[in-house]
A and B are shown apart, each in its own frame.
Chain A
Amino acid sequence: MGRKITIEPITRIEGHGKVTVQLDDAGRVVQSRFHVVEFRGFERFVQGHPYWEAPVLVERLCGICPVSHHLAAAKAVDIIAGVGPEGLTPTAEKMRRLMHYGQMFQSHALHFFHLASPDLLFGADADPAIRNVIGVALRHKDLAVQGVLMRKFGQEIILATAGKKIHGTGAIPGGINKNLSPEERDSFLRGPDPLNADKMIAWAQAAVDFFKDFHKKNTGLIDGFAAFPSNHLSLVREDGALDFYHGALRAVDADGKRILDDVDYRDYLDHIGEEVRSWSYMKFPYLRALGKADGWYRVGPLARLNTCEFIPTPLAQKEFETYRAYTKGKPNHMSLHTHWARLIELLHSGEVIKQLLLDPDLQGSDLVSKGRKAREGVGLVEAPRGTLFHHYRVNADDQITMANLIVSTTHNNEPMNRAVSWVAKNVLDRKTEITEGMLNRVEIAIRAYDPCLSCATHALGRMPLEVALVDARGNLISRKER
């Protein structure tokens, strides 16, 4: 009788997920899936609301990455309000950038120090009782303390720019509703150690060094684990630099050849399709140029460092050169190298935060632009987890009539499934005993993508946790719910 192994829930990723592995009678993996079962419907919920509410309403999607949604929605409603991306005042754009890079900083710090580091520090076979953030605090206190304070620093940046740590109202159609006071600026630049920009940059550099050192000692694991070629997609600045807030859409194939050559992201529907599969409420985006079967792609730190040509801050650029040299300039397809890429982005975010804090435009008083209204707007940002699209249409009464969101975790739906399949075939295949460590390796593969499942099905919901065991013929043998 075949066995289906279900890992439920997946530890240490935002939201909830279910992994199902089906074995045949000989213990061979016949199928593996990573799926989300709850339907959400936030895109319908926002319909009928005035468009200017979108940047605040969409923050209800997620308490983990609300700033990303806030800014992507703001960029979309800017266009509806008649202000194109280049039409923001310097103060408005730079305040939004500071908000965004603050979000990136705290999100990346949280992920590495408290989601990924337990696996790296203790190993996939360690007792689950210590393979968590409390275990990190017990055995590697300095790292845990740094992670908490880096997250706090980023949250304080968000508070100063958005007005609130969660569900801020900073970005409004055509601009921003506050600038950064000199006192706020100085609190971040010259705050008491360690809560200042220079210390944050130093800790981020130390985190990159930590990973490089870990990589040297565990090269086989880091390089070989869930490594598979793919296409990659992200924003890039017009000069090819890494940019999280604005740019053009670029996609490259597994060899680095351009599939999308810096296209306007407002035309995303011409380039990206979304496939629905019966067994998941999360969609499967694909590049239309390559079709459904071959058009899937990765987004997020690994993808961004594959599509950009350089990083416009000195310390992160130096690390980027080391990182790129490792694959001799070719795209990096190694899932666990996402952690390396994420830490380089953490360092870059810290450097950008300091650069922006030193820019007097943040104290400007010209906050909002106006223009001729439109009936449709698309906004795109690079969220911590990857590319995030917001698209709205409005009627003559300014009410939202259509909303389409493609969130980072949805873009990575197929890559995460591929990662699960890799682990299933390489770790679970023909094993007579399934250990905790084997199951954790499946989760390690998914955690590299840092999925936020609250966003991926477009609302906040409590997902029922189900474990289902079926035989090779699909007959239910056993089922449990949490």
Chain B
Amino acid sequence: MDQKKVLIIGIGNPGRGDDGLGPELIERLRRDPRTHAQNSQTHIELGHPNSAYVCEFEFRYQLNVEDAYTIKDYPFVIFADAAMTGDEGAALTEVFPSDAIAFTTHRMSPASVLALCHELYGLTPKAYILSIRGYHWELGEGLSSRAEANLNLALAIVRKFLALN
């Protein structure tokens, strides 16, 4: 079987409403019947008999400097996070290393993490931001119904992307 390796990082706080979209995405992928564990690895089957992705999942409240180490050995990385503004639905966008560091390392951006990975290890995974629009950010668990719909779109986007790449 032709296997590729991808790391999907769900970013956000499940205790603050739709900020939990990123972590919920990886939970849904884990629970999907088309996802199965084999030899301590998680495989996502894509409908191609000879192709699958070996997926690993990570949950983060926010990205931080050690994530430069986390991502270095993956050819593909998807950063899944809720969006407070922007277009409705969900969107997958390629992201490139950038040394335009965020103002605080409380929350490093995917681009900064990629830049740090490149500087420290000479490695740059092909990376994407999966942005999922959210609406409610108050304390409490559970997604709003609109966010739930966007999450389903995001799941479809992930599967389609993995099938085509």
Contacts and interface: CB of A to CB of B under 8 A. Distances in A.
Interface of A: 9-16, 41-42, 45, 57, 60, 63-64, 110, 113-115, 129, 132-135, 137-138, 141, 144-145, 147-149, 151-152, 155, 166, 452, 454, 459-462
Contacts of B69: 148-149, 152
A16 B62 CA distance: 14
Contacts of A133: 65, 101, 105, 108, 112, 116
Nearest to A66: B61
Given A45-B139, A148-B69, A60 B106 contact: no
Nearest to A164: B59
B13 A63 contact: yes
A454 B139 CA distance: 13
B16 interface: yes
27 contacts: A11-B103, A12-B105, A14-B106, A110-B105, A114-B65, A114-B105, A115-B105, A129-B99, A133-B65, A133-B108, A134-B99, A134-B115, A137-B120, A144-B116, A145-B120, A148-B65, A148-B120, A151-B65, A151-B66, A152-B69, A166-B61, A459-B139, A460-B13, A460-B16, A460-B19, A462-B84, A462-B137
A110 B64 contact: yes
A189 to B, nearest CB: 21
Given A132-B101, A134-B101, A144-B120, 12 more contacts: A11-B104, A12-B104, A15-B106, A57-B15, A60-B139, A63-B60, A110-B64, A110-B65, A114-B65, A148-B116, A155-B66, A462-B84
A60, A113, A145: most-surrounded residue (chain B CB, <10 A): A60
Interface of A is mostly: helix
B106 A13 contact: yes
A63 B62 contact: yes
Nearest to A59: B15
B27 interface: no
Given A132-B101, A134-B99, A166 B65 contact: no
Contact of A60 (B15, B59, B112, B119): B15
A134 B139 contact: no
Given A134-B112, A148-B66, A152-B66, A42 B13 contact: no
B90 interface: no
B68 interface: yes
B128 to A, nearest CB: 21
A137 to B, nearest CB: 4
A63 B105 CA distance: 12
A114 B112 CA distance: 13
Contacts of A45: 139-140
B116 A134 contact: yes
A60 B119 CA distance: 32
Contacts of B100: 129
Contacts of A148: 65-66, 68-69, 116, 120
Interface in B83-117: 84, 99-101, 103-106, 108, 112, 115-116
Contacts of B84: 462
Contacts of A147: 65
Contacts of B101: 132-134
A110 B105 CA distance: 9
Contacts of A41: 139
B68 to A, nearest CB: 6
Nearest to B101: A132
B22 to A, nearest CB: 12
Given A133-B116, A149-B69, A152-B66, A60 B104 contact: no
B159 to A, nearest CB: 27
A41 B16 CA distance: 13
Contact of A134 (B62, B103, B119, B140): B119
Contacts of A145: 120
Contacts of A132: 101
B37 to A, nearest CB: 19
B13, B61, B68, B69: most-surrounded residue (chain A CB, <10 A): B61
A132, A134, A151: most-surrounded residue (chain B CB, <10 A): A134
Contacts of B15: 57, 60, 460
Contacts of B120: 137, 141, 144-145, 148
Contacts of A42: 139
Contacts of A460: 13, 15-16, 19
Interface in B123-141: 137, 139-140
